[in-house]
């Protein structure tokens, strides 16, 4: 039974008195109140944990994308994309043209004054030194400009120079995993030889540690000049290249991408309106795809998780109905002494909401604790956002109001004479 328009609005003393009576009732039945809270606590903690995991994956993906691309770089390739179906992949492979070294030289001649370019070719090979071997390392052929394009960090030594690249010298910059596998922890790798496909390469630098990205060890890799890569594996049918605006050129990444597209379309003799015969990929496209995926996951998982809060609300409603039954005589006595319907209803409703809000607060604390512990165990940057905290508290409060309304209305409708006889 809702409060009628003729009932006066509860004053602050009446509200404080109802809150005190509700808290007294909760304290009088500590174990029952705690068991009632468990559903809300578990539900809120689940929402917090799921939300932290979703946001944490987003942060992790952002960091991995930054490591893979650099600050303002983009990729041009025959086929590139954040995600595509098998059919779409083969359709693009059929429509697009392979990009050759001559194509890249043409693009450099047209836009190279404003944009930095570097070929980027990969091959998986075992790398050896004396009796040590680093299996299935990622051997990557690039130009010296890749340092600027991808913000490559070197922790020891240096990256190879343009002169070494043009001379096709067998020099190599190695990742931390390759360094740790082939060299003793106390010895320097600089100036030492390693063997790739049986060819002697001299180590000139060691890359900064990158860690893993989506299960792949980014430190199990080496950079060698493009010419040296071609000598090992041949020119190949095509490759991708990284690009970014020159730091002092004044172009944005989008402007640099537009210049590159125009140059490559000219090279492929494409007419205005024709679909590009190549693909491009930017960090924003990758992040946008990841955000869409995480958004779909959140749209499915979070509502399912919130179901546990509904279950907790049903438990609160049942307990409050039991409480109303136990206190029938007390309610009858209060009504016979002048308590109004709104006083009885307010007391029961506040008790239900208090249970839900306290459970929500404990659930947030438990969720934060679990997030911290799990984040340390799996080394994932779990992140608790204010949105999920507000969602949890908001839903638990609504659950408390809804679950307490019916028991409160039932208590308010009790006839004092009948209620007193219940004793």
CA–CA separation, 97 and 130 (whole Å)? 42
CA–CA separation, 184 and 190 (whole Å)? 12
CA distances from 63 to 56, 69, 75, 316 (A): 11, 10, 18, 43
Q: What is the pLDDT of residues 235-261, one digit of tens each?
A: 776 689 999 999 888 899 999 999 999
Please, what is the Cα angle at 57 between 52 and 62, to 5 degrees? 125
Higher pLDDT, 166 or 14: 166
The pTM assigned to this predicted structure is 0.69
Q: What is the pLDDT of residues 80-111, one digit of tens each?
A: 876 677 888 888 889 999 998 899 999 999 99
* Mean pLDDT to the nearest integer, 200-221: 86
What pLDDT is recorded for position 105? 92
Contact 175, 207 (CB under 8 A): yes
Indicate the domain borders of the chain: 12-63+288-421, 97-277
Give 277's pLDDT tier (boundaries 50, 70, 90): very high
Give 39's pLDDT tier (boundaries 50, 70, 90): confident
Q: What is the pLDDT of residues 321-330, one digit of tens each?
A: 777 776 677 7
Q: What is the pLDDT of residues 119-153, one digit of tens each?
A: 999 999 999 998 889 999 999 999 999 999 988 88
Asked if the model's pLDDT at residue 194 lies above 90, the reply is yes
């Amino acid at each position: 039974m809702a409060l009628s328009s003729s009932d006066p609005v509860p004053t602050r003393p009446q509200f404080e008195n109802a809150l005190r009576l509700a808290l007294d009732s909760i304290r009088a039945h500590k174990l029952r109140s705690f068991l009632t809270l468990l559903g809300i606590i578990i539900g809120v903690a689940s929402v917090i944990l799921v939300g932290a995991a979703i946001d944490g994956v987003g942060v992790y993906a952002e960091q991995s994308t930054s490591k893979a691309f650099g600050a303002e770089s983009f990729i041009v390739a025959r086929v590139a994309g954040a995600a595509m179906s098998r059919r779409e992949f083969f359709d693009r492979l059929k429509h697009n043209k392979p990009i050759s070294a001559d194509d890249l030289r043409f693009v450099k001649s047209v836009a190279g004054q404003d944009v930095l370019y570097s070929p980027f070719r990969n091959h998986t090979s075992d790398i050896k030194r004396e009796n040590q071997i680093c299996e299935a390392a990622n051997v990557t052929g690039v130009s010296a400009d890749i340092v600027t394009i991808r913000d490559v960090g070197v922790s020891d030594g240096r990256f190879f120079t343009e002169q070494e690249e043009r001379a096709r010298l067998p020099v190599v910059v190695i990742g931390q995993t390759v360094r740790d596998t082939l060299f003793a922890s106390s010895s320097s790798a600089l100036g030492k030889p390693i063997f790739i496909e049986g060819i002697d390469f001299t180590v000139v630098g060691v890359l900064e540690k990158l860690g893993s990205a989506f299960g792949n060890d980014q430190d199990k890799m080496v950079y060698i000049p493009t010419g040296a890569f071609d000598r090992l594996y041949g020119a190949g049918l095509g490759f991708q290249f990284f690009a970014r605006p020159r730091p002092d050129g004044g172009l944005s990444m989008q402007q640099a991408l537009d210049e590159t597209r125009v140059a490559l379309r000219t090279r492929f003799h494409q007419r205005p309106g024709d679909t590009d015969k190549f693909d491009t990929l930017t960090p924003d496209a990758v992040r946008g795809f990841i955000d869409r995926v995480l958004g779909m996951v959140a749209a499915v998982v979070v509502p399912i998780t919130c179901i546990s809060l509904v279950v907790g609300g049903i438990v609160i409603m049942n307990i409050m109905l039991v409480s109303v039954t136990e206190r029938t005589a007390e309610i009858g006595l209060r009504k016979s002494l002048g308590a109004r319907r709104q006083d009885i209803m307010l007391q029961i409703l506040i008790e239900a909401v208090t249970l839900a809000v306290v459970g929500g607060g404990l659930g947030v604390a438990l969720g934060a604790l679990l997030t911290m512990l799990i984040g340390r165990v799996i080394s994932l940057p779990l992140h608790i956002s204010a949105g999920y905290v507000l969602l949890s508290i908001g839903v638990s409060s609504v659950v408390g109001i809804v679950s307490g309304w019916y028991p409160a209305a039932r208590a308010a409708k009790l006839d004092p004479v009948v209620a007193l006889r219940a004793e």
